[in-house]
Amino acid sequence: MTNTAKQFAKKTALIVVDVQNDFITGTMAVAGASDIIKPINEFAKRFELVVLTQDYHPPKHISFASTHDLPELGVLDAPYGRQVLWADHCVQGEWGVKLSDELAINHARLIIRKGCRADVDSYSAFIEADGTPTGLDGYLRQLGVEQVVVVGIATDFCVAWTAMDAARLGYECTVVTDLSAAIDVDGSYQAAAHQMNALGVRLVELKDI
Ligand SMILES: [Zn+2]
């Protein structure tokens, strides 16, 4: 029995967040993102149940600075709250939206697409920014999942929001920090780590699993 099997005795799902071209070498390339893909492939072999997520925006999405003629990393007061504005990224039908060719997790059963509606963003794989559920919680519950492990891009945004919603929904949740890559703008990594800790999300390194 591996350590992982011991530690994750409860039924566990691995959630691999947004390993997509734009976040690796594209318009929103995150430092270190290309280095985590092969280790994620290896790690995923330990899990029977793997869910992938994919940021999946229509053109002129609300989260794009260009949509509002505002600077990137500015903040928009959206109907659902504070929306950080990004470079155009993960546009449906374009190269940048595709999952990386290096991602090799053929046994992943489900891909959750996020931010599909023009006027709502979704960092979380569970709940969109306006409170609409994605259905992932129901999927995992029907399969008896009690624990989730989250890895991917970016640690301080989509990984963190997914992990925090998992914790709020009652899952035991672990984020593997060195299988994730952070944007870390204006202290966003420390802030996200603090918020995750406050919700009981475990932040661990791969060697400690
Ligand atoms: Zn996005």
Interval 117-167: pLDDT, tens: 999 999 999 999 999 999 999 999 999 999 999 999 999 999 999 999 999
pLDDT band of residue 2 (cuts 50, 70, 90) is very low
What the block records as the tokens of 62 is 């609300």
Mean pLDDT of the chain: 95
Distances (CA, A) of 56 to 38, 121, 160, 162, 199: 23, 10, 18, 16, 27
Q: What is the 145 CA–ligand 1 centroid distance (Å)?
A: 27
- Residue 67 CB-density burial (10 A; 0-12 exposed, 13-18 middle, 19+ buried): middle
- Residue 54 CA to chain centroid, in angstroms? 8
- Fold annotation for 3-59+89-208: Rossmann fold (3.40.50)
**pLDDT at residue 3 in the model:** 45
Rounded to whole angstroms, the Cα distance separating 66 from 71 reads 8
Q: Which of 150, 153, 182, 124 is nearest to 37 (CA)?
A: 153
Q: Cα(112) to centroid of ligand 1, in Å? A: 13
Task: Give the active site residues.
Answer: 18, 114, 158
Q: Taking the model in full, what pTM does it have?
A: 0.94
Q: Report d(CA 158, CA 54) in Å as an integer.
A: 10
Q: What is the pLDDT of residue 204?
A: 97
Q: Is 52 helix (H, G, I), strand (E, B) or coil?
A: strand
SS3 106: coil
Determine the average pLDDT of the residues in 81-105. Answer: 97
Residue 4 has what pLDDT? 52
CA of residue 155 to ligand 1 center, whole Å: 14
